[in-house]
Copies of this chain bind each other. A is one copy, B any other.
Amino acid sequence: MHAKLQRRQALTDARRSLVLDAARAVFLEAGIEGASVREIARRAGYTPGAIYSYFESKEAIYAALLDESIQRLQSAVADAPVARDGPGQALAARAQAWFDFYAANPRELDLGFYLVQGMRPRGLTSELDHELNDHLYQALRPCEEALQEMGLDADAALRENTALFAHGVGLLLMQHTGRIRMFRQSADALFKAYVAQLVQRVDGGSRQPGLFGGTVQPDSTDT
């Protein structure tokens, strides 16, 4: 690339990043509905017109913010230390990576679950929402792969990975809101215990097929 083009790209990236930082603050303060491109522009030191040259709408800014957050999550999981002592340890390392990412960045979890305004996906087109869901799914894939390496079939690995994610997200929610204090427990310790049990259960299951096979089977679908 020409030096001039490179410089231009670097400037574009920097401006985009400034806009996203301003947007993050506005969304967390005002919610998705309460946020405006005008206010985001004001914080970033741009005119609304300048913002529209980078993003076509407020929703597009929100989606870009969330996508960037999921990319960081994906890197955290992908970069988790490779365990040489088996897929159980690989699973534990990768699961701990996403848990730690959200434990250290509670506002990313707010954004990722639309908690800036109640638990309702708002404003995103279903296409954008689908794309974000897919990226989050991909970010968590390494855990599912580890579960398959431990001997689970594809369906069981997906179910266990969903349950694992739900467990961690529930613990993080209780920690971030202080609700965990009413139980006098540690979210991190409970998460580690869940993962250890999962590893034990799946390893035991693969040695004794069918022992737990019937218990994770969904018996209905949500409406």
Contact = CB atoms under 8 A, between A and B. Distances in A.
Interface of A: 28, 30-31, 34, 106-107, 109-110, 113-121, 129, 133-134, 136-137, 158-159, 161-163, 165-171, 173-190, 192-194, 196-197, 200-201, 212, 215-222
A167 to B, nearest CB: 5
A33 to B, nearest CB: 8
A52 to B, nearest CB: 26
B184 A133 contact: no
A31 B216 contact: no
Contacts of A212: 197, 200
A180 B217 CA distance: 16
B117 A179 contact: no
Given A165-B170, A181-B133, A189 B110 contact: no
B219 A189 contact: yes
Contacts of A184: 158
Given A110-B118, A185-B218, A186-B220, 4 more contacts: A30-B34, A115-B119, A136-B179, A190-B218
Q: Which among A159, A193, A197 has the greatest number of chain B C-beta atoms within 10 A?
A: A193
B186 A113 contact: no
B167 A174 contact: no
Copies in the complex: 2
A219 B197 contact: no
A133 B181 CA distance: 8
A162 to B, nearest CB: 4
Given A119-B109, A183-B158, A163 B194 contact: yes
Contacts of A34: 30-31, 34
Contacts of A30: 34
A169 B174 contact: yes
Contacts of A217: 189, 193
Contacts of A178: 121, 129, 133
